[in-house]
Amino acid sequence: MNIKPLGDRVLVKPLTQEEVTKSGIVLPDTAEKEKKEQGEVVAIGEGEKIKKLNLKIGDKVLFGKYSGDDVEMGEGTNKVEYKFLKDEDILGIVE
């Protein structure tokens, strides 16, 4: 299934990162964390604002933890989580 974001939206696949404390304890994703998240751009809309960001498919971007709308695609064990982000939700490009 292919999804094309409309307007000034971007489809991003969030990158999962395990957080390890200095003492070596692995914090699960369910732990309360107020940090920013990263994701890989999968598709880009045709809006004017999003074009000004000069994003490309494959770019890694930084966005707020609670930004955007979550969507799952695929069936059964092949489900993949994505996020729809607006242009203003994208904080920066990770180089």
Query: In which residue are the tokens 């395990």 written?
Result: 18
Position 70: which residue type? D
Nearest alpha carbon to residue 80 among 14, 18, 17: 14
Position 17: which residue type? Q
pTM exceeds 0.85 for this model: no
pLDDT digits (tens, 9 = 90+) for 41-87: 999 999 999 999 999 999 999 998 888 999 988 888 888 899 999 99
Q: What is the mean pLDDT of the chain?
A: 84
9-94, what's its fold?
A: 10 Kd Chaperonin, Protein Cpn10; Chain O (2.30.33)
Q: Quote the pLDDT of residue 95.
A: 86
Region 5-27: mean pLDDT is 77
Please report which confidence band the pLDDT of residue 90 belongs to, taking 50, 70 and 90 as the band edges.
very high
Domains of the chain, residue spans? 9-94
